[in-house]
Amino acid sequence: MSRYDLALEAVQSKGARFTARSWLLSMVLLFSSVFPILASAADIYDLQKNGDVELIAWVGEKPKSGDKITPTKVSVNEQVILNIEVATPRWLTGGTRIGSIEIPNVIAKQRNQLATNYTERVNGTTWSRQRWEVTLYPMTSGEFVIPTVPVRIQVSAPDGSNVGGTLYTQPIKFEVSLPSGLLDNETPWFSATEVDVDQQWQRSSDELKVGDAITRTITIKAKDSLSVLLPDVLTNESTQQFQAYPQPNRLDDAQERGDYRSSRVEETVYVIQQGGEFTLPDFSFQWWDSRNQRLESVVIKGEVFEAKHTVQSFIKAYMSVFISVGLALVLCVALFVSLKRYYKNRPTPSWLVFRRLLKQGNWPALRTFIYRQLRTETTQLELDKVKLSKAQLGKLNGQKRWVEDSEALQQGYEDKNVFTRLWRGLSNLSNDQLNSSHSRSIFSRLKIPKALPDLKNKTK
């Protein structure tokens, strides 16, 4: 039990006799327990004034005593290290605690939870020093001020007692700007001194088919950066050929032998929905090399895959084609049945008869068919006496060709080309006659009648 508790118990205890002597003793015990705390709280500042305790903070290079401090200039997203150092010519008797740092548009993170302890010889005196580091990451351009930071310190006093208290650092200014005109605050990028990218592919089977999965893992490692600042490269967009299932990102920040390293691991599982060839796309990002002061671009290559169809996926993928082909077949069958019914009690079309005879090579029947067609269309018996129009002659390469084909037919030539030209000539002849008669009928209907006779004069 402390002397403070004993004094309170002596004052508040039931049955205690409040004599002048007991009251005086209680007050002595009470004040003797309170005054050392007040004295130690004031002594820490006295030790600082006397030079027995030193607290300095800086950004960038450590300033020398007496030098004028100028604001440090850094880039957006660049890692800024705030150093806080406690020093004493005696020794530290307790743990040092640093207060929190909050700056608008700046990420502050104490990544190294352990301080660096070392000794330094100054003017024949050995100083014990303890250095703490806090990493800062400014997110926008402008001028920033690190406010005063409370630091809890406990050191040994010259009289051998332990003196503890809270000291405050001085405000520190630093300026932030974009490192390159090719960058802006809207485009995602980050700053680092070293970047390494690794990509891995994993298949559920060697020969891919519909329903199998492809796992794509991308790992970005950066030095002197923060994991939350590393870019999110996988877009995880699904298509008709695959369905994307993103996995939770894995972020890590570590400190190794004075180096600050960060990593971001992204993983997406692609489940194949259709067979055939498909491509998982490329991705790219930019980062600023703060060590060499240059802009770097990184391209993460995609890959082409091919998957086989299953029966269900094949039907699903080509369902529209199957429906279209089925409808076309139904229409063709319906048309064929309709034509067959139509010509069941009607004569077969002349063009179909000609095609059948030509395919069979029945030359006598073909000659008979040609002359029958000639008689039907022109009421004549000789082919060479048929007068063709200029359009028909143009198609037959002139009247001479028509006469030669007619003579060849009469002489018994068995040539498909001769029969075909003669048939076309007769068919065109019938079509032209039909068109001319049709045009005449139209013009006759549109013809303006003659003026009616003047009935008035006749009545007179």
Residue-wise pLDDT tens digits, 79-101: 999 999 999 998 888 889 999 99
Provide φ and ψ at 265, rounded to 5°. -115, 120
Give residue 316's pLDDT: 73
Q: Which of 84, 131, 124 lies closest to 108, judged by CA?
A: 84
Q: How many CB atoms lie within 10 A of CB 278?
A: 19
Give residue 185's pLDDT: 73
Give residue 389's pLDDT: 58
| Exposure string for 44-82, b = 16+ CB within 10 A, e = fewer | beebbeeebbbbbbbbbeeeeeeeeeeeeebbbbbbbeb
Locus of tokens 């660049």:
78
Give residue 37's pLDDT: 43
Give residue 150's pLDDT: 94
Low-confidence ranges of the chain (pLDDT < 50): 1-8, 10-20, 22-25, 28-29, 31-42, 434, 437-449, 451-452, 454-460
Give residue 149's pLDDT: 94
DSSP 3-state of 216: strand
DSSP 3-state of 244: strand
Asked whether 137 and 224 are in contact (CB, 8 A), the reply is no
Sheet containing 97-98, strands listed edge to edge, beginning at the edge strand earlier in sequence: 97-98, 150-156, 162-168
Give residue 14's pLDDT: 42
Residues in the chain: 460
User: How far is Cα 304 from Cα 114, in angstroms, rounded to an integer?
Assistant: 48
Give residue 405's pLDDT: 75
End-to-end Cα separation, the chain, in angstroms: 157
Give residue 401's pLDDT: 75
User: How far is Cα 82 from Cα 44, in angstroms, rounded to an integer?
Assistant: 24
Give residue 424's pLDDT: 79
Max Cα–Cα distance, the chain, nearest Å: 170
Give residue 398's pLDDT: 61
Locus of tokens 């692609």:
270
User: How far is Cα 70 from Cα 9, in angstroms, rounded to an integer?
Assistant: 58
Give residue 176's pLDDT: 94
